[in-house]
Amino acid sequence: MKRSYLTATATAAAAALVLTACGGGDDQGEGGQDGASGAVTVSLAGWSLDTTPEFQVLADAFHEQNPDVTIDLVEYSADDYDTQMIADLSAGSAPDLYVMKNLKNFFTYEDGGQLVDVSDVAGQLGDEVSGVDAYTVDGATFAIPYRQDAWYLYYNKDLFDQAGVDYPDGSWTWDDYADAAEELTTGLDESNVYGTYQHEWQSTVQGFANAQSPGADLLSGQWDYMVPFYERAVDLQDEGTQLDYGSITTNSVSYQSQFGTQKTAMMVMGSWYVATLLAQVDSGEADEFAWGFAPAPQLDSSTVEEPITFADPTGIGINPAADDDVVAAAKEFLAFIGSEDAASALAEIGITPAVTNDTVAETYFGIDGMPTDGVSRFAFSTHDVRPENPVDANTAALQNILEDAHSAIMSGSVSPADGIDEAEQRAAAEVLG
């Protein structure tokens, strides 16, 4: 992909990173060589380590194959990860390896000179690894993906049975979804049990609008195609078939509690939730009930054979401030996370890895408590996953404007048409003009 010109916002962030990019590795980072033994410790950033086991799983699986290299986890805030990481990179205190949670800020890291070129690692990977292209700029690769999520429609089979509504069969459009949400709410007829749940994130509406709408282009600043998606979402909450946005934000409602404790019959959410739900059922935080997941609803029936969904890959890059021996060990770790062994280790805990071949799929659906029906298997194996965030200097600024629009529309402050129109005017004046 070609590099775009920086906006003022992206320039400032990238410049802050560039200031530390030229520093030597001797006093930077947190890893290093352990005495004369030749053992190397490499630090890796992660978040919510108690509830996000994927980092420790990768660290342990790699160490088992490479006993001279220890991956030491460093915990960051899940909500403020990129803000904290940019600050630590600028201060020279960031870990040796750090995760790109999504593609929104990848441009800032790469353009700021805070990622090692790992094209040599990428060249060793097989064609089965999804998402490598997303981290490739002007022919060079700067991170290796270990996860490639997709958004699914989760559903509670017990509540569907109770309401007398047929399960999703993999062919649903958004109109089918809205109809089912209404039928479920009416059929359940219970206090605080909704037909569906839409979390507060802008992704729940805009991610699908950008992925599924013909000709959609987030970078264009022309977003009329989002209006029908918002009209449907607002109608659902106005009709009482999903919890309203104000209640979610005011009460800090978690999507895990809504689905896991059976307060909703359906929920559109990313594939990472599979691992969380399995863990919470095991710990008792979530109820035990029959559930499954289906492809996300489609704009129309033309795409149901290969459903269109969205999600950025999740990759890991190397801090260029690390010592040479640490960089060498870090590259070995990156080669490992792009392997079938790493993919199988992640699949064992319900994480959707960047490699999803037949072997990995069998591991994934072999987990205790995992649904094994044909629709769930179809959703996992057959989809067209489109990135949520195009890699561009303007992405972060435009997404911030759209986040404001999302809040205004879903809270009822403005109509969908007026909210999107205002966002377009801001984009033209503040970013694209």
pLDDT tens-digit readout, 128-185: 899 999 999 999 999 999 999 999 999 999 999 999 999 999 999 999 999 999 999 9
Q: pLDDT confidence of 189, banded at 50, 70, 90?
A: confident
Work out how many domains the chain is built from and give that number: 2
Give me Rg for the CA atoms of the chain.
Answer: 22
pLDDT(52) > 70: yes
Indicate if 64 and 205 belong to the same structural domain. Answer: no
Q: What is the pLDDT of residue 412?
A: 97
First and final CA of the chain: distance in angstroms?
23
Beta carbons within 8 Å of 130's beta carbon, 6+ residues apart: 145, 148, 313, 354, 355, 356, 385
Please give the Cα distance from 357 to 375 (Å, whole number): 17
The string of DSSP letters for 328-364 reads: HHHHHHHHHHTSHHHHHHHHTTT--BS---HHHHHHH
* Mean pLDDT rounded to a whole number for the chain: 91
Host H or E run for residue 308: strand 308-310
Indicate if 21 and 64 belong to the same structural domain. Answer: yes
Please give the Cα distance from 313 to 332 (Å, whole number): 20
Please give the Cα distance from 53 to 42 (Å, whole number): 18
The string of DSSP letters for 263-294 reads: SBSEEEEETTHHHHHHHHHHHTSS----EEEE
Q: Does 369 map to a domain?
A: no
Indicate if 91 and 110 belong to the same structural domain. Answer: yes
Indicate if 300 and 334 belong to the same structural domain. Answer: no
What range does the domain containing 248 cover?
151-309+389-432
Q: Does 62 map to a domain?
A: yes
Indicate if 133 and 197 belong to the same structural domain. Answer: no
Q: Does 378 map to a domain?
A: no
Please give the Cα distance from 236 to 252 (Å, whole number): 20
Indicate if 164 and 195 belong to the same structural domain. Answer: yes
- In this predicted model, what pLDDT tens digit does every residue of 375-430 receive, in sequence order? 999 999 999 999 999 999 999 999 999 999 999 999 999 999 999 999 999 999 99
Indicate if 72 and 112 belong to the same structural domain. Answer: yes
Indicate if 327 and 417 belong to the same structural domain. Answer: no
Report which of 72, 118, 111, 109 is spatially closest to residue 89, judged by C-alpha positions. Answer: 109
Indicate if 226 and 196 belong to the same structural domain. Answer: yes
- In this predicted model, what pLDDT tens digit does every residue of 7-31 receive, in sequence order? 444 444 444 444 344 433 333 345 5
Indicate if 38 and 93 belong to the same structural domain. Answer: yes
Whichever domain contains 192, its CATH number is 3.40.190.10
Phi-psi region of 189 (alpha: psi -120 to 50; beta: other; left: phi over 0): left
Please give the Cα distance from 23 to 5 (Å, whole number): 25
Q: Does 236 map to a domain?
A: yes
- In this predicted model, what pLDDT tens digit does every residue of 67-78 receive, in sequence order? 999 999 999 998
Indicate if 166 and 137 belong to the same structural domain. Answer: no
Indicate if 81 and 134 belong to the same structural domain. Answer: yes
